[in-house]
Structure 1
Amino acid sequence: MVSKHLLVSTTTDSEAAARELAAKAVEARLGACAQIVGPITSVYRWEGSVHTDPEWRVEIKTAADRVDALVEHIKQHHTYDVPEIITTPIVGGSADYLSWVEEETRPA
């Protein structure tokens, strides 16, 4: 089953950076809306060491045909060398809401 809508998530190191990523994605009409969750605690290995740091998750709802452009947009505007970018299919939900997601991700 191919999903017409996706949730794209990334993390960043500050609330301000999360707000900027979210706003830029919505302003560019690559996402209909975004939520910021945080702070969360991330434990990860980077350059041979294990780190534990606070991060903020940005979750962006988008249409499937806009996801590649959104991923590239995140990469261009992210402060991390290798940002976490994960896409998750939305397999159900309010038809009215998903229609709105589709409308809001169309170029103006």
Structure 2
Amino acid sequence: MLTGAGARAEAVHGGSVRALLVTVLLSAFMFQLLRTVGLRAFSMASETYTSGTHSAAFVTCPNDTVAKDLARGIVEKKLAACVNIVPAIKSIYEWQGKIEEDNEVLLMIKTRSSKVPALAEYVRSNHPYEVAEVISLPIDQGNPPYLKWIGDIVQE
């Protein structure tokens, strides 16, 4: 058993070893974390995207059959990369002076903004409604690989 200066020296030495071990482990963890974050940031930075290049368009349909037929045609004609079919929405709107309430199905369509006019024409030509809803919003930001995929599928 050490007493006095010897005990203090051993306590300092043991504390230094522990501190060094903690520092090494923390450094290894931080290196891995920073490396992962850095690689993701570099990957995202290397993917350039111009805001508004792509759009999300929305179309309401009277039922699932019409929705599936329109969605399939839109994708087959390369007017969109993807169409999500959102079932069971309730629409309340004014039509010919009356408030209407209908069950509908929503199409959420991802495409190039330049394709929206052709998409609207396709929907008007194939939709049973007298006045079919086709609205679009430009995509400001998103997952760069996903946005690239839209552009790869729906070419200019």
Q: Residue 30 of structure 2 aligns with which residue?
A: none
SS in 2 for 1:34: strand
Distance in 2 between residues matched to 1:101 and 1:71, nearest whole Å: 18
TM-score normalised by structure 1 residue count: 0.93
Structure 1 or 2, whichever has the larger Rg, is: 2
**Aligned mate of 2:122, from 55, 63, 73:** 73
In the alignment, structure 1 residue 39 sits paired with structure 2 residue 79? no
In the alignment, structure 1 residue 52 sits paired with structure 2 residue 101? yes
Unaligned runs of 5+ in 2: 1-49
Distance in 1 between residues matched to 2:66 and 2:108, nearest whole Å: 13
Q: Residue 46 of structure 2 aligns with which residue?
A: none
Alignment of 1:1-108 (within 5 A): 3-106=52-155
What RMSD in Å do the two structures reach over aligned CA positions?
Answer: 1.4
TM-score normalised by structure 2 residue count: 0.65
Q: Per-residue CA shift, 1:47-102, capped at 9, x if unaligned?
A: 22211110000011001221111111111111101111110111111111111101
Distance in 2 between residues matched to 1:18 and 1:12, nearest whole Å: 6
Unaligned runs of 5+ in 1: none
- Number of aligned positions between the proteins: 107
Structure number having the greater strand percentage? 1
